[in-house]
Amino acid sequence: MSLLVNTSRRVPVGRLVVYGVVLVVGLCLMFAPFLFPDVRAQEVAARICVFIVLVASYDLLIGYTGIVSFAHTMFFGLGAYGTAIALRTMGPGFDAILLGGSLGVLAALVLAVLIGLLSLRVKAIFFAMITLAAASVMMVLASQLSEFTGGEDGMTYTIPRFFSPANTLVEDADGKALRIFGVALNGRLALYYFVFLSSLFLFLAMLRIVASPLGTVLEAIRENEMRAEAIGYRVVSYRTAIFCIAAVIAALAGILRAVWLRYTGPDVTLSFDIMLDVLLMVVIGGMGTMMGAVIGVVIMTLAQFYLKDLMEAGASATADMPLLPDMLNPDRWLLWLGIVFILLVYFFPAGIAGTLMGKGGHK
């Protein structure tokens, strides 16, 4: 795709819209406990924070470097499982989070180096298959080593008391948690801000990475691998490096997820459904734009939480028609998502953010 054409077509308005939306999302997340005090909305907000990190780190691979990996939830899961297992065996303490989390991240790093060196020299498609195979083995391991992992059921555990709703951060005159705008300053709030600030930090780190010389080299590799090699870049090393960075960030996101949920199981970390979600989020938001990750995550998460209600209504409204209620059954929401996804890949391969920002996306 011609770079020249794209620059001339760039619409600053679209760019402003994207940055504006991201800013609004950021502000909403920052003040989420005050803006949306109900429990479900806080779950949504925390999920969005963690997934922005996860999806943006995946975008480092698929969008910025052109690597298709299906092992991203495996790394996510390693971080989560490491934390969860440590919390369960060592008891609720920050030392457990630190140790378990570090081990999880380390495991992710080692695996990423191994997979990267072993197979990043082969074709993209080969790599996709190998990561898919690795991820499914990890999934099977997690369900079979049930004495460590809780198997299919996963495991619940307690997190440090500091993060519990019973912990008061600032006491008022009666010795209860002080309330600001009706929101108690308790451990639960601290936990949310722990998740939010960690996610923000990781997201900014990734923005820094893509703006760094490393990011530029990666884009050069994506655009023309042979040329990059000819110029003298060691393509495999760069790819392995970014693969490891993305894996570590995914594992860190996994720690956040494990601490927030106080539960870790295949369905919330490792499963292929999560991998699909991540893929859909990246593509919907726009590959190769960190802003796209934010938009994709927000749209998909809101859809997951609220679209099903809408479909439910649609299904009951069309109950006596043939086929339609089946198709509008809330369980079938993936059908529609799949169709939307295919259409997006055809017509807007740059995703929402990419299209708005006039980035033609890459071929």
Partner 1 sequence: MSNAILRLDDVYTDIAQYHVLHGISLDVPEGGVHVLLGRNGAGKTTTLRTIMGLWRARKGAIVFRHHDITAMKTPDIARLGVAFVPENMGIFGGLTVEENMRLAAAHGRFDDQRLQRIFALFPAMEKFWDRQAHALSGGQKQMLAISRAIIEKRDLILIDEPTKGLAPAIIRAMIDAFREIAQETTILLVEQNFHFARALGETVAVIDDGRIVHRGSMAELAGDEALQNRFLSLSMEAH
Partner 2 sequence: MTKTISDTFERFGGVFLLPVILGLVAFLLIGRPSTWVTLTVAGLAMGMMIFLMASGLSLIFGLMDVLNFGHSAFVSFGAFIAASVLASLGVWVTGGSAAMNILALMAAIAAATAFGALAGWAFERIIVKPVYKDHLRQILITMGALIVAEEIILMVWGGSPLPVPRPAVLTGSFVFGNISIEVYRVFAFLLGLAVYIAMHFALNRTRVGLLIRAGVENREMVEALGFRIDRLFIAVFMAGSALAAMGGAMWAGYQGLITPAIGSEMMILVFIVVIIGGLGSIEGSLLGAILVGLMANYVAFLFPKMSLASNMILMMAILLWRPYGLKPAVKG
Q: Which residues bind partner 1 (CB under 8 A)?
A: 1-4, 224
Is 12 or 363 the residue whose CB approaches partner 2 more closely?
A: 363
In the chain, the amino acid numbered 31 is F
Return the one option of partner 2, partner 1, none that residue 62 interacts with (CB less than 5 to 8 A, by type).
partner 2
Contact between 307 and partner 2 by CB under 8 A: the answer reads: no
Relative to beta strand 155-156, strand 179-180 is: unpaired
Return the one option of partner 1, partner 2, none that residue 2 interacts with (CB less than 5 to 8 A, by type).
partner 1
Is 147 or 174 the residue whose CB approaches partner 2 more closely?
A: 147
Contact between 363 and partner 2 by CB under 8 A: the answer reads: yes
Put residue 181 in one of left, alpha, beta given phi > 0 → left and psi -120 to 50 → alpha: left
Q: By rule CB under 8 A, what count of residues binds partner 2?
A: 43
Dihedral angle computed from the Cα positions of residues 333, 338, 340 and 343, in that order, rounded to the nearest 10 degrees: -170
Contact between 308 and partner 2 by CB under 8 A: the answer reads: no
Tokens of 142: 């997690």
Return the one option of partner 2, partner 1, none that residue 224 interacts with (CB less than 5 to 8 A, by type).
partner 1
Is 15 or 332 the residue whose CB approaches partner 2 more closely?
A: 332
Shortest separation between residue 227's beta carbon and partner 1, angstroms: 10
Q: Rounded to the nearest 5 degrees, what angle is found at the Cα of 274, between the Cα atoms of 269 and 276? A: 155
Q: Which stretch binds partner 2 (CB under 8 A): 24-32, 191-199, 206-214, 336-344?
A: 336-344
In the chain, the amino acid numbered 287 is M
Return the one option of partner 2, partner 1, none that residue 1 interacts with (CB less than 5 to 8 A, by type).
partner 1
Among 80, 189, 191, 283, binds partner 2 (CB under 8 A): 283
Q: Give the three-state DSSP class for 180.
A: strand
Contact between 126 and partner 2 by CB under 8 A: the answer reads: yes
**Which helix H or strand E contains 140, and what residues bound it?**
helix 124-144
Q: How many residues does the chain have?
A: 363
Query: Which of 287, 280, 105 has the alpha carbon at shortest distance from 210?
Result: 287
